[in-house]
Amino acid sequence: MSSMRNAFLAVSLLVSGSQASAEAPKRPNFLVIVADDLGFSDLGAFGGEIATPNLDALALSGLRLTGFHTEAACAPTRSMLLTGNDSHSAGLGNMPESMQKNQQGKPGYEGYLRPDTATIGERMAAAGYRTLFVGKWHLGVAPKQDPHARGFQYSFAMLHCCHNHFGLGASDDPTKMPGYREDGRTVAKLPADFYSSDYFAAKLIEQLKSTKSSPEGRKPFFAWLAFTAPHAPLQAPPETIAKYRGRYDAGYEVLRLQRLQRQRELGILGPDVQPHRMVDVTPWAKLTPEQQRVSARKMEIFAAMVDRLDQAVGRVVAALKETGEWDNTIVIFVSDNGAEGRDPDKPPPGVDTSFEAMGSARSYINYGAGWAEAATAPSWRFKTFGSEGGIRTPAFVCGPAVRRHGAISGAYTHAADIAPTVLDLAHAPAQPGRFAGRTVAPIEGLSWTRLLRTGAPVYPANKAIGQELFGSRSLRQGDWKITDIGEHRWRLFNIAKDPGETHDLSAQYPARKAALLEEWGRYAKSVGVVLPDPPLQPTPPRDLE
């Protein structure tokens, strides 16, 4: 009798479970797209002139986030995106390549994603998703540190910070840059026609289609597409570069003004906002004709990289429509930090420095501070700085989670919010401080669910969010922010009124500044900030005084 009762209970549980499953809302698919060093205004939907029709269509159909913030460089931001933790809590208190002696061996400065974190890949796989990863990783090169070991069932990863976009110099030793792994196995050789954005999109499409046609195809997918464009070296196919010939001959000051005007027309920038002045940039008119020719070509190549990235996204969207999964897919798009304004210190050996070679696999260039500050306008500075130009990037969400199509939100949002937002929308609650029977760092970011549905703010006005990288620091609380760009001098700004960080209000509001400094001290202690010694930032810019 007991065995019959147990059998009846088992059947009842199966039936009730299947009924509950049938009645539960269909869980969405997720596609997270991460661009590398993309400036705030580089997309058309954010004020740019580069041809980005696919990304623009997605952004305009969803919710554009003009208050999205990251860390000031790639690996720390990626650690936050993937875990929901502060970069110091996740092990990336500094870039692996920039770790100072006084930071080495300190908690939070491991230079790879700590094992006591849980990635969104791990959490989504445990929640019944098929998990896919393609592109830049930069969070550890040991086999136990790569994406296949951190929850992504299918992966193709470029392990390091950067690479030749045409695939030259690939190493079969993943500890040497650049190294690649596919599903945990070292990739010894790339195809002859490799170009990063094209290949990464093709790989993700391959993963999406192969898993869709497999027994796992009934599961929703969680896909992470991490481009390495438009990170230096600036390289693009010649036919795409040709589209932009002559487009930037007027120089970076003109481009900056054009983008600011377009931002105002789009409603991204208020009519009374004062943009930050360009800092330590040689005026275009003072460059020689040859310097102008070279600089304009660099921007043409950069534009071609962004254009090619957009084309790659278009192919992924088309593939999802072909498999019938597009209508149930939520897309989250972000850049990992502000535009990169630094030129390479020293090109690698064997680089062709001729004008004719620029943009090819044989060249190694970046476009410099002038174009970067046009891209980050109206903000101050660019990548590596804790000012808005370094940590505010374009972002948007589209798909079935968004109820406010075509809207723009200036609410403060953060890279650490991606993981809790995805988990919330996937109906996959995370147990605080625990995952798969082990202790992990609790998620610190907040979900955007209410923002996507009603426009409600994500962060309460009294919530303090700190940031530090390379000794450049900031802290945000409501509309107020303190910023130290690495010169050990704090400035106070009201970001709601002054997003360009043009007016230091320290003298007018000393008590508020003191309170924010206390908050930053608490933040630094809680995550174990160790300021680099010696400092990593350059001589302070001529500015603001």
Catalytic site includes residue 148: no
pLDDT for the residue numbered 346: 73
Determine the Cα–Cα distance for residues 113 and 16; give it in Å rounded to an integer.
40
Whether 417 is in a domain gets the answer: yes
Residue 12 has pLDDT above 50, yes or no: no
Determine the Cα–Cα distance for residues 235 and 493; give it in Å rounded to an integer.
38
Whether 518 is in a domain gets the answer: no
Given 69, 88, 138, 414, the catalytic residue = 138
CA dihedral 287, 290, 294, 295 (to 10 degrees): 10
Name the band, by pLDDT with cuts 50, 70 and 90, for residue 537: low
Percent of all residues in the chain with a pLDDT value above 70, rounded to a whole number: 94
Report pLDDT digits (tens) over 235-249. 999 999 999 999 999
Radius of gyration of the chain from its Cα atoms, rounded to whole angstroms: 23
Report pLDDT digits (tens) over 476-502. 999 999 999 999 999 999 999 999 999
Does 378 sit behind a cis peptide bond, omega within 30 degrees of 0 on the bond before it?
A: yes
pLDDT for the residue numbered 538: 52
Burial of 86 (0-12, 13-18, 19+ CB in 10 A): buried
Name the band, by pLDDT with cuts 50, 70 and 90, for residue 172: confident
Name the band, by pLDDT with cuts 50, 70 and 90, for residue 343: confident
More confident site: 243 or 350: 243
Structural domains in the chain (count): 1
Whether 542 is in a domain gets the answer: no
CB atoms < 10 A from the CB of 445, how many? 23
Whether 105 is in a domain gets the answer: yes
Determine the Cα–Cα distance for residues 526 and 491; give it in Å rounded to an integer.
22
Determine the Cα–Cα distance for residues 382 and 470; give it in Å rounded to an integer.
13
Residue 287 has pLDDT above 50, yes or no: yes
pLDDT for the residue numbered 404: 86
Given 74, 161, 162, 398, the catalytic residue = 74
Whether 532 is in a domain gets the answer: no
pTM of the entire predicted model? 0.94
Determine the Cα–Cα distance for residues 147 and 362; give it in Å rounded to an integer.
30
CB atoms < 10 A from the CB of 1, how many? 5
Q: Which domain holds residue 209?
A: 25-462
Q: Token pair for residue 438?
A: 């082990």
Whether 19 is in a domain gets the answer: no
Q: What is the CATH number of the domain that holds 48?
A: 3.40.720.10
Name the band, by pLDDT with cuts 50, 70 and 90, for residue 178: very high
Whether 494 is in a domain gets the answer: no
Where residue 292 falls (left for φ over 0; alpha for ψ -120 to 50; beta otherwise) is: alpha
For residue 361, the number of C-alpha atoms closer than 13 Å in the C-beta half-sphere is 11
pLDDT for the residue numbered 22: 40
Report pLDDT digits (tens) over 454-468. 999 999 999 999 999
Whether 485 is in a domain gets the answer: no
Q: Say if residues 20 and 320 touch (Cβ distance below 8 Å).
A: no
User: Can you tell me whether residue 38 is helix, strand or coil?
Assistant: coil
Catalytic site includes residue 138: yes
Report pLDDT digits (tens) over 359-411. 999 999 999 999 999 999 999 999 999 999 999 999 999 999 999 899 999 99
